[in-house]
Structure 1
Amino acid sequence: MISLYEASNLLATIRAHHGDAQISETDVRMFAAELMPSLTVDEARRAIVEYYSTARDRWCGAGDINSLVRAHRAKMRPSEAQIGRECEARGLEGDAAWLYRRNRMLGHAPDEAARLTAGARDPLALPPARPKRRREGGGFIGSLGLGDVVG
């Protein structure tokens, strides 16, 4: 999540392309709220540079930054065939291959994905059930018995 200070710097960079237009606190808060939560400052800066590297007749907005970062992340993601070859090379099958594939698609490096897969328990196992709390007292009636209520 980008802080308001970082968002104000990004917005100042954008506004510098358009004659240093003034920035209000409301502008910064709106801009920060529109950026995707997983965005890093470096990714946003690269997206702004990429956006303005071609002649544009409109301002770069948070949606433009989000779409450029998503496109860049998609290019960096390995293909299904590449992940399959990595699983074969590591001897992963079944649930371990599924967990490795999931970690790779989440953006982890091959070594980190293998480490996470090796250290994980069964990914399809359910967590143990937590015991239910025992209630104290008699509920909404209190300490009254059935005979006190009916009779």
Structure 2
Amino acid sequence: MKKILMSACFLGQKVRYDGRHSLIEHPLIKKWQEEGRLIPFCPEVAGGLPIPRAPAEIKNHHPVLVIDQNEKDVTPQFVTGAELAVERAKREGACCALLKSRSPSCGNREVYDGKFSGTVVPGAGVTAAELQRHGIPVFNEREIDQIEEFISNQL
């Protein structure tokens, strides 16, 4: 059975920076949960950041630099969380990941610009980029139907 690494906030876990969740109620997620396919994971918490925490954005992609709104460098926690996500995905046999869009960890197509201006720019979060680098495709909450298609094509 193909497993999916998934942002824990999507399953109602209050792990976001603001102490809230991003619960998604979608028939496919419910089905995957019932089948035991989901691997809930929050890379920021796994990397050692508290709940709640100051919002963070990627200031630089190469080399990666992640700062929070108080100008504190939180890069080590983001990198650790990304490495742990890859380790967990590989250990549990995840074929792909479903992660929170625009997150500095989980965004797969776009992230905020690093200036805390609310501006979105193309790019991937630290964890999404690391998963992709290890051959694990990353989808966001607007691409749930694409995951089903991806999994079907893997069989």
Q: TM-score range by the shorter chain?
A: under 0.3
Q: Which has the higher contact order (CA 8 A, sep 6+)?
A: 2
The structure with the greater share of residues assigned to helix is 1
Structure possessing the higher radius of gyration over alpha carbons? 1
The structure with the greater share of residues assigned to strand is 2
What TM-score results when the alignment is normalised by the length of structure 1? Answer: 0.20
